[in-house]
Amino acid sequence: MLDVSTENPDGKATPSRRRAPRAKAEPATPRQQPRAATRRVSTTRAKVERGPEAAAPLRGVPSAPPAVTSSVLPTDLPDDRYFNRELSWLDFNARVLALAEDSSQPLLERAKFLAIFASNLDEFYMVRVAGLKRRAETGLSVRSADGLTPREQLVGISKRSQELVEQHARAFLDHIRPGLEQHQISIVTWGDLTDYDRLRLSNYFSEQVFPVLTPLAVDPAHPFPYISGLSLNLAVTVRDPEGGGERFARVKVPDNVPRLVRVEADRSSSSATFLPLEELIAAHLGELFAGMEVIECHAFRVTRNADLEVEEDRDEDLLQALERELARRRFGPPVRLEVADDMTEHMLELLLREMEVDPHDVVTVPGLLDLSCLWQLYGIDRKTLKDPAFVPATHPAFGERETPKSVFATLREGDVLVHHPYDSFSTSVQRFIEQAAADPHVLAIKQTLYRTSGDSPIVDALIDAAEAGKQVVALVEIKARFDEQANIKWARTLEKAGVHVVYGLVGLKTHCKTSLVVRQEGSTIRRYCHIGTGNYNPKTARLYEDVGILTAEPTIGADLTDLFNVLTGYARQDEYRSLLVAPYGVRKGIVERIHHEIEAAQAGQPSGVRIKVNSLVDEQVIDALYRASQAGVPVDVVVRGICGLKPGIKGLSENIRVRSILGRFLEHSRVFRFVASDEYWIGSADMMHRNLDRRVEVAVRVADPRLTKQLGDMFDSALDPHTRCWILRSDGEWEASPSDGTSVRDHQMELLHRHGALG
pLDDT band at residue 759 using 50, 70 and 90 as cut-offs: low
pLDDT band at residue 598 using 50, 70 and 90 as cut-offs: very high
Cis peptide upstream of residue 738 (ω within 30 degrees of 0): yes
The highest-confidence range among 243-257, 498-512, 692-706, by mean pLDDT, is 692-706
The highest-confidence range among 229-233, 286-290, 405-409, 726-730, by mean pLDDT, is 726-730
- Identity of the amino acid at 397: A
Instruction: Answer yes or no: is 640 a known binding residue.
Output: yes
Sign of CA dihedral 616, 619, 620, 626: positive
pLDDT tens-place string over residues 477-492: 876 566 667 767 888 8
Mean pLDDT, residues 80-86? 97
**Residue 601 predicted with pLDDT over 80:** yes
Question: Would you call 722 a catalytic residue per the annotation?
Answer: no
The highest-confidence range among 9-13, 242-246, 449-453, 498-502, by mean pLDDT, is 498-502
Backbone angle region of 498, left / alpha / beta, with phi > 0 → left and psi within -120 to 50 → alpha: left
pLDDT averaged over every residue in the chain = 86
**Residue 44 predicted with pLDDT over 50:** no
Tell me the C-alpha distance between 229 and 252, whole Å.
Answer: 11
**Residue 7 predicted with pLDDT over 90:** no
pLDDT tens-place string over residues 268-321: 778 999 999 999 999 999 999 999 999 999 999 999 988 655 544 444 455 555
Mean pLDDT, residues 660-677? 97
**pLDDT for res 503:** 82
635 phi/psi in degrees, rounded to 5: -125, 125
Tell me the C-alpha distance between 89 and 164, whole Å.
Answer: 12
Mean pLDDT, residues 587-613? 98
Tell me the C-alpha distance between 348 and 339, whole Å.
Answer: 8
**pLDDT for res 402:** 55
Mean pLDDT, residues 468-475? 94
- Determine what percent of the chain falls in helix, strand and coil, rounding each to the nearest 5: 35, 25, 40
Q: Is 414 exposed, middle or buried (0-12, 13-18, 19+ CB in 10 A)?
A: middle
**pLDDT for res 609:** 98
- The C-alpha torsion from 455 through 456 and 461 to 462, rounded to 10°, is -110
In this structure, the number of other CB atoms found within 10 A of the CB of residue 583 comes to: 27
**pLDDT for res 518:** 98
**pLDDT for res 626:** 98
- Bridge partners, 235 (sequence order): 250, 298
**pLDDT for res 700:** 98
E strand or H helix at 564: helix 554-568
Instruction: Answer yes or no: is 668 a known binding residue.
Output: yes
* Lowest-pLDDT choice from 51-55, 220-224, 228-232, 714-718: 51-55
**184-381 CATH pick, 3.20.20.140, 3.90.1150.10, 3.40.33.10, 3.30.1840.10:** 3.30.1840.10
Q: Do domains 184-381 and 396-572 have the same CATH topology?
A: no
Give the fold, CATH level 3, of 396-572: Endonuclease; Chain A (3.30.870)
List Cβ neighbours of 173 (8 Å cut-off, separation of 6 or more): 366, 367
Q: Considering 395, 419, 511, 747, which one is annotated as catalytic?
A: 511
Counting residues of the chain whose pLDDT is more than 70, the rounded percentage is 84
Instruction: Answer yes or no: is 18 a known binding residue.
Output: no
**pLDDT for res 20:** 40
- Identity of the amino acid at 556: I
**pLDDT for res 330:** 60
pLDDT band at residue 10 using 50, 70 and 90 as cut-offs: very low
Mean pLDDT, residues 673-677? 97
Mean pLDDT, residues 35-42? 28
pLDDT band at residue 405 using 50, 70 and 90 as cut-offs: confident
**Residue 225 predicted with pLDDT over 80:** yes
Residue 302 near residue 229 (C-beta atoms within 8 A): yes
* Lowest-pLDDT choice from 52-56, 198-202, 626-630, 642-646: 52-56
**Residue 133 predicted with pLDDT over 50:** yes
Tell me the C-alpha distance between 71 and 592, whole Å.
Answer: 10
List Cβ neighbours of 599 (8 Å cut-off, separation of 6 or more): 676
**Residue 633 predicted with pLDDT over 90:** yes
pLDDT band at residue 9 using 50, 70 and 90 as cut-offs: very low
3-state secondary structure 3-30: CCCCECCCCCCCCCCCCECCCCCCCCCC
* Lowest-pLDDT choice from 107-116, 277-286, 568-577, 746-755: 568-577
Mean pLDDT, residues 154-175? 96
pLDDT tens-place string over residues 173-203: 999 999 999 999 999 999 999 999 999 999 9
Instruction: Answer yes or no: is 84 a known binding residue.
Output: no
Distances (CA, A) of 504 to 478, 567, 586: 9, 5, 18
Closest listed residue to residue 398, CA positions, set 369, 435, 372: 435
* Lowest-pLDDT choice from 304-318, 356-370, 647-661: 304-318
Residue 381 near residue 6 (C-beta atoms within 8 A): no
pTM for this model (two decimals): 0.86
Domain ranges in the chain are 184-381, 396-572
The highest-confidence range among 263-267, 488-492, 559-563, by mean pLDDT, is 559-563
Closest listed residue to residue 537, CA positions, set 662, 414, 641, 447: 447
